[in-house]
Structure 1
Amino acid sequence: MTGPLIELNRRALAVNVKRIRSLLGPDVALMFAVKSNAYGHGMELVAPEVIAQGAKELAVLDIATGIAVREVIAEAALFAWLLEPSDDYLAASHHRLELGISTTQQLQHIAESAPKEPLVIHLKVDTGLHRNGATAKDWPELCRVAAALESEGLITVRAIWSHLADTSVETSLSALSRLQEALSVATEAGLKPAISHLAASHGAIELPETRLDMVRFGILGYGISPFDDHSAEELGFQPVLTLHAPVTHLAEETIHLGVGYQHGLLPPTAQGARLQVAGVWLDLVAVEAQHTVLRGVLPDAAIHQGMRVPVMGAEAPGASVEAWAAWTNTIGDEVVVRLHPDIPRRFADSQ
């Protein structure tokens, strides 16, 4: 191996899906997020696997990604909500995507595209996060226009939805109340949405009443915690990803590993980062463009050039994604989505 490699633990992913299904119970649907290349894990690997393990729906950010996922997954519901005025709504309809809609302008674009089959949409209301949702002032008009287009057979309003800020229990309960009010307004406008959804990983764990009809489960499904005070494993989830890199250079007390910030590995900003190589703890000195530099007392003959070393994740002792997030003063999501898409990815049992 001449460069970095990402390996995924298929069993851990299956355990996580099973854990989510157990938490949600039979009456709450699971939408598994595969946005940002499945949080850096590799969409083409993760998407079919979570569907095979029991997830019924997938979430992405944009239409282009949704189309790419549709090429891998033929039948599951696919939801995209980060939309641009120039987006091809007809292509979204052709690939049977469901779209998150929050403005009358977006509805007008759909009408102008004249889809042959009704485009399934989820109307988004702002419940306090101020991320794309329609304001309380604009919501009644959005529902009115949506009802008119639905009566013309251009759309089907499947859901009313929103995002949680996940800043406190109080803000989440306030968001839940706002969503319920928005649902009443939508019903008064003549809409009959089948479901409503609000929570992602954080909210589903912290406040079960926000689970509603469906949960968009994201980073926790990959075994990475969205919480500051609980690890994923403490919550019953297993890490899926391990980033490996080869030893490319050996000196008296220094090792170079063949992975760096050009591969998307974030350089630590805090002191105390260490990696274990051949059972020996070494200080992480620097993450350079193409290399990570380790320093310490090396065991005789136990380390050799070309050997593969777990740098981050499930198989890297003391260097979980959560640990790297702490070392780099960020969150686990940021650590993994930065990993370059050109790094080869595979399931560990598919060697």
Structure 2
Amino acid sequence: MSSSTATIPTGRSAGTRVEAVVDLAAVGANLRVLLDLMRASNPAGELMAVVKADAYGHGAVPVARAALAAGVTRLGVATPGEAVALRAAGITAPVLAWLWPPDEPIGEALARDVELGVSGRPQLDAVLAQAGGRVPAVHVKVDTGLGRSGVGPLDVPAVLDAVAAAERAGRIRVTGLMSHLASADVPGDPSVAEQVERFRAVIAAAAARGIDPPVRHLANTAGLVDHPDSRFDLARVGIGGYGLNPVATPVPLRPAMTLRATVALTKRVPAGQGVSYGLTYRTATETTLALIPLGYADGIPRAASNRGEILVAGRRRRIAGRVAMDQVVVDCGDDRVTAGDPAIVFGPGDDGEPTARDWAGYCDTIDYEIVTRIGPRVPRRHVGGTPS
């Protein structure tokens, strides 16, 4: 196999130390696949593309635009600040932010027509206090079993009463009811059905108070794929849009991010040469070491020391020694490797390179963390779409 790849995004600029190449065409195709799945059970069903945490490390603004072009109708983020950044980039589609403490200033988000998640009476009061003469749009978030944010089961009646009163007074518009699944990616977990039933009960309780929002949403990617009863009007698609499938059910998704670097240095060393801090790796024979200039400051987990693999000169090479802040080393044996050669940390796997899921296995984590932790020092290069 050649070290030059055909299907991994190419066209590296001269002198590029490291870059994350994001295939926006793959993002769009993934979302169209998931939208078709949604509409198989609900022809009017919608998708919300979740672009929090800089679109799971892929670049929030370019991904948001690719998602909207693919037929997604709504965007979701965690924080009001993330939503404001999308508005500042000129994105006008509905944007929901659901994670914020009640003492956070939200006036700018409300002024920019950001929809806010309300997880309790303090947040409702904060929305009313900072509305500034506007009629904010809110999604009431209820905790149906995850035990994180959301109105707790004992507080649901009182909060729904307060929300209904505020809506009748013309002070808010309830545009959504939402909750979040705890174990949709766990095969056969009974909590999914339990949460669906609790969510239905909340919908009924809201309707009894005159609360009838246009969208009700519970399903994440795993729920959308494996639990049709959780789909309701809208599915919030996060990891699936980036081509990473959280469940075993096959879905034709393509990983959108390829993390690549350039070999910075090679050297021939004798047997017994120690490598990196602590000298936890020593060469078995005379060999060629290749220095790859990225490390834990770029998002490579230190847990990958002596475990993670990188595609160099057509073969996967295991990291030799500890991951350092800015660099790792791989042992290339007698293979011809020179400074300037490409090094593919992970990608879609087309040419034998590791995938984000492989890296999750090296580090005993999930592929969500692998892509999301790629740091701001790593430039993103968007291909297959219009990132501006």
Q: Which TM-score tier does this pair reach, normalised by the shorter chain? A: over 0.9
- More divergent stretch after superposition (312-321 vs 145-154): 312-321
Check if 1:161 corresponds to 2:178: yes
* Letter of the 2:289 counterpart: T
Give the whole-Å Cα distance in 2 for the aligned partners of 1:177 and 1:280.
50
Give the aligned partner of residue 253 of structure 2.
237
The alpha carbon displacement at 1:209 in A equals 1.2
Mapping 1:20-39, distance limit 5 Å: 20-25=34-39, 26-39=43-56
CA distance in 2, matches of 1:272, 1:259: 16
Which residue in the other structure is 2:323 paired with?
Answer: 287
- TM-score normalised over the length of structure 2: 0.84
Secondary structure (helix, strand or coil) at the match of 2:116 reads strand
Instruction: Report the equivalent of 1:307.
Output: 341
Change in 2 beyond 3 A, CA 1:114/1:2? closer
TM-score (structure 1 length as normaliser): 0.93
Please give the residue correspondences for 1:150-299 in structure 2 after superposition, counting only pairs within 5 Å: 150-166=167-183, 167=186, 168-227=188-247, 229=248, 234-252=250-268, 253-269=288-304, 273-285=308-320, 286-299=322-335
Question: Which residue of structure 1 aligns with residue 160 of structure 2?
Answer: 143
Aligned pair in 2 of structure 1 residues 138, 125: CA closer, same or farther (>3 Å)? same
Partner of 1:5: 19
Which amino acid in the other structure matches residue 114 of structure 2? L
Q: Which amino acid aligns with 2:348?
A: A
One-letter amino acid matched to 2:155? D
1:90 matched to 2:107: yes
Distance 2:34 2:124 in 1: 34
Could you tell me whether the CA contact under 8 Å between 1:5 and 1:345 is conserved in 2? yes
* Aligned counterpart in structure 2 of residue 109 of structure 1, from 111, 117, 126: 126
Mapped partners of 2:128, 2:104: distance in 1: 13
Q: Distance in 2 between matches of 1:341 and 1:91?
A: 25
Q: Quick check: 1:165–1:172 contact (8 Å CA) kept in 2? A: yes
Which is higher, the Rg of structure 1 or of structure 2?
2
From 80, 83, 90, the equivalent of 2:97 is 80
Question: What is the CA deviation profile of residues 223-259 of structure 1, one whole-angstrom value per residue up to 9, with x for unaligned ones?
Answer: 11223x46xxx42100100011111110122111111
Residue type at the aligned position of 2:234: M
CA distance in 1, matches of 2:36, 2:131: 41
SS at match of 2:311: strand
Does the CA contact (< 8 Å) of 2:177 and 2:217 recur in 1? yes
Which 5+ residue runs of structure 2 have no aligned equivalent? 1-14, 269-287
Query: What's the CA shift string for 1:136-193, capped at 9, x where partnerless?
Result: 2211111111111112222101111100002444101100100111111112222122
Specify which of 356, 362, 380 is matched with residue 327 of structure 1. Answer: 362
Distance in 1 of aligned mates of 2:74 and 2:131: 25
Distance 1:280 1:126 in 2: 47
Q: Would you say 1:16 and 2:30 are equivalent positions? A: yes
Checking the alignment, whether the CA contact within 8 Å between 2:289 and 2:329 is kept in structure 1 is yes
- Determine if contact 1:243/1:311 at 8 Å carries over to the other structure: yes
Q: CA deviation at 1:206?
A: 1.2
Please say if 1:60 is aligned against 2:77.
yes
SS, match of residue 65 in structure 2: helix
CA contact (8 A) 1:45 1:346 kept: no
Letter in 1 for 2:380: R
State how far apart, in whole Å, the 2-side matches of 1:194 and 1:280 are: 52
Amino acid at match of 2:36: S
CA contact (8 A) 2:293 2:327 kept: yes
Question: Number of paired residues?
Answer: 345
